[in-house]
């Protein structure tokens, strides 16, 4: 008996006219008088493969039982298909049923389901065409991220998930405790006594690996972290998750311009990788979700990202004559409607906005000579808005200490971060790519909840 081959491998044709073994899940089954047709999918490609079962063959008796959703093994001959839309099919000689799906109550019937409905059955949605495509592309992007950095001599650093510092200073953290919330120990002032907690102090889930990864950049030069991050911001939008993955490279001896150059090269590399390796999946997603998808992706690869200062961006927005829901003036943070105007209408390409007001950015960003702005950069993508946030880091001890104080941070939580500026300090920069935002852009999916296996959002952490 031949060993199992993945369907994607069969589609290359190297095993034509040979006996093969496939295993997977039945997408559809259709019976005619003399033949049964099964579309079998094992997740390795979008189309799956057609199985033909002759009514007189030994395989047929077992086939009669098989319902949509069943897990089966098929042995048969791989032959060129006379049918339209597929190169190969399998003429079954044997079929083994691992586990049937019980007919009508199987939630994934043939008809198209809405994405909202599929979120409610997130444990089964990987079996649909759409989610097969999305998660193959997601995997491809993750692989290309490592490939990009490894080819350039960056080291992958695993930063901790549990932290005591608030890297973004935004106070949007989830507390982690092993104390009994119904019987919290109190100190003499009536506050919760964290010295009795597991770590002996308050601990949170990380909002970013940046501060930790900076310690490695200041020793090993070029590094990156790529892991889950958590934000307790109450944003119920199509672009926010409470748990998402972030890719954070950090480079010693890079200034803001070096940082922006790397970010542009990185994003183009990832998109070019997907266009080359995921054309079948992207074509499917374009057909059903975004008619402009391939054009948009190709445009990004060929474009030159435009760079403007925050001050210039605000003046473009003020002169635009648009009536924004959130009015703009110097000093306010850019909202996604502003970001989209800059990308979609004004520049018609990705935009890098640099030098934001110090008041609206995190304490670690390097203060510019004007003392009003910091060396920050946000990369904005058409339709999506911010996909990357980054900066040159404040490497001057005194300036950083002052900014920490202004931010109201506890200096004892950041002593080691300050030490980097005390011993062998050097200019360095980095950025964070929101992984799901980027997967959303590449797949053309409208909602970020459809590009992560199990989305966590306010009031929902099912599965």
Query: By the criterion CB under 5 A, which residues form the site for Mg ion?
Result: 389
* Shortest Cβ 96–ligand 4AD spacing (Å): 43
Asked whether the beta carbons of 50 and 89 are under 8 A apart, the reply is: yes
Asked whether the beta carbons of 60 and 36 are under 8 A apart, the reply is: yes
Binding flag, residue 366, ligand 4AD (CB under 6 A): no
Q: Which of 69, 140, 227, 389 binds ligand 4AD (CB under 6 A)?
A: 389
CB closer to ligand 4AD, 389 vs 427: 389
Size of the site for ligand 4AD (CB under 6 A): 23
Structure-token pair, residue 38: 């099964």
Binding flag, residue 430, ligand 4AD (CB under 6 A): yes
* Shortest Cβ 196–Mg ion spacing (Å): 36
CB closer to ligand 4AD, 132 vs 434: 434
CB closer to ligand 4AD, 6 vs 456: 456
CB closer to ligand 4AD, 144 vs 334: 334
The end-to-end CA distance of the chain, in Å, is 38
Binding flag, residue 417, ligand 4AD (CB under 6 A): no
Q: Which of 197, 431, 443, 455 binds ligand 4AD (CB under 6 A)?
A: 431
* Shortest Cβ 365–Mg ion spacing (Å): 11
338 contacts which partner out of ligand 4AD, Mg ion, none, CB within 5 to 8 A by kind? none
SS3 199: coil
Asked whether the beta carbons of 251 and 217 are under 8 A apart, the reply is: yes
Q: Which residues is 246 bridged to in the sheet?
A: 227, 434
SS3 140: helix
Q: What is the DSSP string of 412-450?
A: GGSHHHHHHHHSS---EEEEEEEHHHHHHHHHT-S-GGG
DSSP state for residue 219 in the 8-state scheme: H
Place of tokens 């997130």: 122
Binding flag, residue 136, ligand 4AD (CB under 6 A): no
Q: Measure Cα distances from 459 to 232, 233, 243, 456 in Å.
A: 11, 12, 13, 8
* Shortest Cβ 213–ligand 4AD spacing (Å): 7
Mask for 198-217, x = binds ligand 4AD (CB under 6 A): ----------x-x-------
Binding flag, residue 227, ligand 4AD (CB under 6 A): no
How far out from the chain centre does Cα 247 lie? 9
CB closer to Mg ion, 170 vs 283: 170
Burial zone of 173 (CB within 10 Å; 0-12 exposed, 13-18 middle, 19+ buried): buried
Q: Which of 149, 244, 310, 414 binds ligand 4AD (CB under 6 A)?
A: 244
DSSP state for residue 112 in the 8-state scheme: P
Q: Measure Cα distances from 97 to 63, 113, 414 in Å.
A: 8, 26, 59
CB closer to ligand 4AD, 43 vs 169: 169
Residues lying near ligand 4AD in the complex (CB under 6 A):
167-168, 208, 210, 231, 233, 240-241, 244, 246, 248, 386-391, 430-432, 434, 436-437
């Amino acid at each position: 008996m031949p060993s199992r081959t993945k369907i994607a491998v069969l589609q290359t044709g190297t095993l034509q006219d040979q006996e093969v073994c496939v295993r997977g899940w039945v997408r559809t089954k259709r019976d005619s008088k003399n033949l049964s047709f099964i579309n079998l999918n094992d997740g390795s490609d979008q189309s799956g493969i057609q199985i033909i079962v002759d009514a007189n063959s030994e395989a047929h008796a077992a086939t009669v039982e098989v319902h949509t959703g069943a897990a089966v093994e098929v042995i048969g001959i791989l032959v060129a298909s006379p049918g339209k839309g597929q190169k190969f099919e399998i003429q079954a000689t044997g079929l083994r049923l691992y586990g049937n799906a019980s007919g009508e109550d199987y939630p994934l019937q043939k008809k198209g389901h809405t994405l909202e409905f599929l979120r409610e059955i997130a444990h089964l949605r990987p079996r649909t065409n759409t989610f097969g495509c999305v998660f193959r592309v997601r995997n491809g992007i993750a692989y290309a991220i490592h490939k990009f950095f490894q080819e350039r001599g960056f080291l992958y650093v695993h930063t901790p998930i549990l932290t005591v510092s608030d890297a973004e200073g935004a106070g949007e953290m989830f507390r982690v405790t092993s104390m009994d919330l119904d019987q919290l120990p109190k100190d003499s002032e009536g506050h919760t006594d964290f010295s009795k907690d597991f770590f002996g102090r308050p601990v949170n889930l990380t909002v970013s690996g940046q501060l930790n990864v900076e310690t490695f950049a200041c020793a090993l030069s070029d590094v990156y972290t790529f892991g889950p991050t958590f934000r307790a911001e109450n944003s119920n939008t199509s672009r926010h998750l409470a748990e998402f993955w972030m890719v954070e490279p950090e480079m010693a001896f890079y200034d803001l311009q070096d940082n922006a150059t790397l970010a542009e090269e990185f994003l183009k590399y990832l998109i070019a990788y997907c266009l080359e390796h995921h054309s079948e999946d992207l074509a499917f997603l374009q057909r059903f979700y975004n008619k402009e998808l391939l054009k948009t992706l190709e445009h990004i690869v060929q474009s030159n990202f435009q760079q403007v200062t925050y001050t210039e961006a605000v003046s473009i927005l003020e002169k635009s004559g648009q009536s924004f829901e959130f009015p703009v003036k110097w000093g306010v943070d850019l909202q996604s409607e502003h970001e989209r105007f800059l990308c979609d209408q004004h520049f018609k390409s990705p935009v890098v906005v640099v030098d934001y007001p110090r008041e609206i950015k995190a304490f670690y960003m390097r203060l510019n000579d004007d003392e009003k702005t910091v060396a920050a950069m946000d990369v904005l993508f058409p339709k999506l808005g911010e996909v990357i946030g980054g900066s040159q880091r404040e490497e001057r001890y005194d300036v950083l200490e002052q900014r920490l104080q202004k931010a109201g941070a506890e200096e004892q939580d950041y002593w080691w971060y300050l030490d980097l500026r005390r011993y062998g300090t050097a200019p360095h920069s980095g950025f964070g790519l929101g992984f799901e935002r980027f997967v959303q852009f590449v797949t053309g999916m409208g909602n970020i909840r459809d590009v992560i296996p199990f989305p966590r959002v306010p009031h929902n952490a099912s599965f």
